[in-house]
Every structure is written in structure tokens, then in C-alpha cells.
Amino acid sequence: MKAIKLFIVFIRHLYHLIRFKTLSDEQIRREQFKKLKNLIDFAWNHIPFYQELWGKAGFNPSLFKSIDDISLIPCIDKNMVRENYEKMVPDNYHKSKLTLVTTGGTTGVPMNFYINKLDAQTKEFAFQLWRNYCMWGYKQCLDKVVILRGNRISPQLIGKHIFWQKGRLENALICSSFHLTEQNYNSYLNKIRAFKPRFIKAYPSSIALLCSLMKKHGDAKIETLQGIICSSENVYDWQRKLVKEVLDVEILSFYGHSEKAVWAFQNSQQKLLFHPLYSYTEFLNKNFQTIEAVGEIAQVVVTSFDNKYFPFIRYLTSDYVEVGESILHYPKVANRIIGREQEFVYDKNSNKVIFTCSDELLWGIDGVIAYQYRQQEVGKLILCLQVNEQFTIPSIEKILGIGKSIFVDFDLLVEIVDYIPKTSNGKFRYLIQNIK
């Protein structure tokens, strides 16, 4: 019975996505208002947290008469969720259907929230199928794909120098990103070539590492490859250039959260399109005012749709974007992801500076395997580099010279290290910020 219900939900999502391109912007806006109104009424009637928060702010659902009235609703942040997550479950919902999720441990204090995995995954799968096939030409479950992310391979296989396994749900070769090293590189590349993938799904840091090793060894591109699909980390310009140079394909990136409250994907112009039927997205400044000017920096604030088990309403994601120009069907477009709120550094005057363009120092520098900035003191940055024999000492002076134009009012030091560790998920952290 549950399987039939989920299948109906899946088909409903897919139907709306297929007809999405036939809707006018005004029809999309009316659809968003309908979903928001329904969610706000539900939260007011069934969720103690929102009843209390909105009551103190003088808001009630009768005030929500147009989509612009969403500005009357107070925003919530990660600290509020962390402290009140038990009160954010509806009083008419069986908590036994929910799974407790903990996230944010690598960038801050962990945050708990609940999710209905089956409902969330059903919606996610419908949106992924639509995006992959209609927008990127990737036939999920049919096309061969290599997955190079934070997957764990059994110790028995690792002991035999086998760093991969066959995927169960996709036509996939699942590789461990933890063991992609100079020593194991040839084994990885030979296996990937033999598999003949059409796409590679990877952390940006993982595919950049593979391409760095391929460039070092002068290896040719993978002939069957059509594209690289990246998520879970920022994609930097140097990574896009490196992938294009070595593999002769583009990085296709998308943006989402464990909270399942926002979903965006990259188009052919490398703009990030926030899908208006997945959730309601706002771009706000520090005073919670809407930003529409192209090129301005804004925080992404989202309200989840189709979620009556733990809705996020005007949720401050702590992610910042450069605002792009709206296009047909997509009222919210970002030129690029700037980074998380935690990804700021502090100059000698204690000014908070966005941690962006951090990779430009390394453009054109050979031999860099991985890098990481560390800040222990105000106004001082240490750039740690893990390098191979292609890296030369004169490159340090070049890096410092470029760094002076990017990190103004900072003392920048370069430190060569033997190894930059990955997180438990197999990612590189590009900034360790230890200033509170």
C-alpha cells in the first residue's frame, strides 16, 4: 500500500515537472502562492514552534494575502532549529515515520532535524530524473556512471587493492575517494577506462585530484565521457578549467541540502537555476530585505514545499550567492555560489571578508594536489599546500604576489605539508576557520 502511494506521489511530481515549461511566470507564481498558503495554514494549526514564533511576531495566516506578504513572516536560522527541533514536528504526525538527521558537523555545531526519508527521496528522485534527462542528457540507471564521492569500500576489497564496487541501483562503478592517491592512481584510471562511463558523479575536489594526476602523467582523456556531475562542495573556476583541459568535458553542478528545502541546477551558461516548484527561494541581505540587483551578494532563504512532517519556513541557509538575472520560468537565478557563512576570513581590522577567489592564487601553478587555508589569528592566513615533484619553490613567490591583490590587509603565508586530510565524507575542506 505504501509503495503504491509513493509511486502516485512520484508520478504527480513528474507530471508537474513535464508540464512546467508550458506554464507562464504568472501561473508559476500562483502555484507558489497556493503551496505557501497551504503550508502556512498547516504550520499555524499543527506546529507548536511556528505558533509560538509567529504569535510573538504578530503574524497569523489571515495576513498572508499575496506572495509578497511572506516578508511578514520571521525568518528562522540553524540555531533556532537546533534548539527547537522537537517542537517543529506537527502534533498530528507520527514521529515513528521520521528519521533523525544530524548535519553541519564539518562547518559548525551539528544540527538535528527530522525527515521522512521515503517521501523526501521520492520527490528528489523525480526532480533528478527530470533534470538529468531533460536538461543534461543523462539517462539515469541506463547510462554508465562512475561515482567518485565519499563512498566506503569494504576492508576486504581494500586489502586486495580493489577500491571500487558495482552499484546496485544504478549502472555505476562506485569508487572510494579516500584511496585516490599517487600510489593507487593507475589502478583507478585503468578501471574507469575499462568501465567506459558516460558520466562521472564526483565531489569537485575528487575529480580535480584525478585530473591533476592525469595531467601530471600526461594521460589522455576518457573517450566515452560526456560530462562530470558535481555536488556537495563549491565548484571553483580552476576546477572547471582543469576538468575541461584534461577530460575535455564540462562540470555540471547542482545545489541542495540535507534539509531538502532547496534545489537548483546549472544550465548551459553555468547559471544556477532555483526550481520554483521545489521550494520558494528568496535572496535577502543582512537586513532581510529582498535583493534583485544583478551582481549583488545575497543569502539564500528558502521555504520547503510538499513537506508537512518538518517544514522549513523562511529558513536562513547561511549560503551566499551572486544574484543573477531572472529568466523565463526561473525567477531566482544565481551567477555563482559564493560560499557558506562560515566561509569568511577576518582582516587586520577585524572586517569580515567573503572567502571567495581563494583558488585564483593557484591558477597556472603545476604540482598542487590539494590546498587548505587556515586562520588562527585576525589578519593572518596560512595557505597549506600538498604538492608533488612538479611544484617548484619559485611558485611560492608567484602565489604570494597574487595573494596580495586578493587578500588585502592580510599577512599571507604558504606552508608545504605532507598531507591535507579529508573529512569523514571524503571531501576536502578549503578553509579551517578558528576565529569565533
What amino acid occupies position 286? Answer: K
Q: Which of 424, 431, 374 lies closest to 102 in space, CA to CA?
A: 424
pLDDT tens for each residue of 126-154: 998 999 888 898 998 889 999 998 777 88
Q: How far apart are CA 330 and CA 55, in angstroms?
A: 33
Q: Name the packing angle between helices 48-57 and 25-46 (round to 10°).
A: 100
For cell 582523456, name the residue: 221
Which of 3-7, 153-157, 246-250, 374-378 is predicted least confidently? 3-7
Q: How far apart are CA 326 and CA 173, in angstroms?
A: 38
Beta-bridge partner residues of 166 = 173
SS3 of the chain: the string is: CHHHHHHHHHHHHHHHHHHHCCCCHHHHHHHHHHHHHHHHHHHHHHCHHHHHHHHHHCCCHHHCCCHHHHHHCCCECHHHHHHHHHHHCCCCCCHHHCEEEEECCCCCCCEEEEECHHHHHHHHHHHHHHHHHHHCCCCCCCCCEEEEEECCCCHHHHHCCCCEEECCCCCEEEEECCCCCCCCHHHHHHHHHHHCCCEEEECHHHHHHHHHHHHHHCCCCCCCCCEEEECCCCCCHHHHHHHHHHHCCCEEEEEECCCCCCEEEECCCCCEEECCCCEEEEEECCCCCECCCCCCEEEEEEEECCCCCCCCCCEEEEEEEEECCCECCECCEEEEEEEECCCEEECCCCCEEECCCCCHHHCCCCCEEEEEEEEEECCEEEEEEEECCCCCCHHHHHHHHHHHHHCCCCEEEEEECCCCCCCCCCCCCCEEECCC
Contacts of 2 (CB under 8 A, 6+ apart): 118
Which tops the pLDDT comparison, 153 or 377? 377
Q: How far apart are CA 279 and CA 300, in angstroms?
A: 12
Averaged pLDDT score across all residues of the chain: 89
Which of 102-116, 245-259, 344-358 is predicted least confidently? 102-116
Which of 6-10, 114-118, 121-125 is predicted least confidently? 6-10
In this prediction, residue 6 has a pLDDT band, given cuts at 50, 70 and 90, of: confident
Mean pLDDT of 374-391: 92
Length of the chain: 436
Cβ atoms < 10 Å from Cβ of 338: 20
The answer to whether the CB of 362 falls within 8 A of the CB of 406 is no
pLDDT tens for each residue of 84-115: 999 999 998 888 889 998 775 433 456 889 99
Which tops the pLDDT comparison, 368 or 264? 264
Q: How far apart are CA 188 and CA 214, in angstroms?
A: 11
The answer to whether the CB of 323 falls within 8 A of the CB of 291 is yes
Q: Which of 230, 248, 185, 233 lies closest to 212 in space, CA to CA?
A: 185
Model confidence at 356: pLDDT above 70: no
Q: How far apart are CA 293 and CA 121, in angstroms?
A: 34
What amino acid occupies position 222? Answer: I
Mean pLDDT of 301-309: 94
First to last CA, the chain: 51
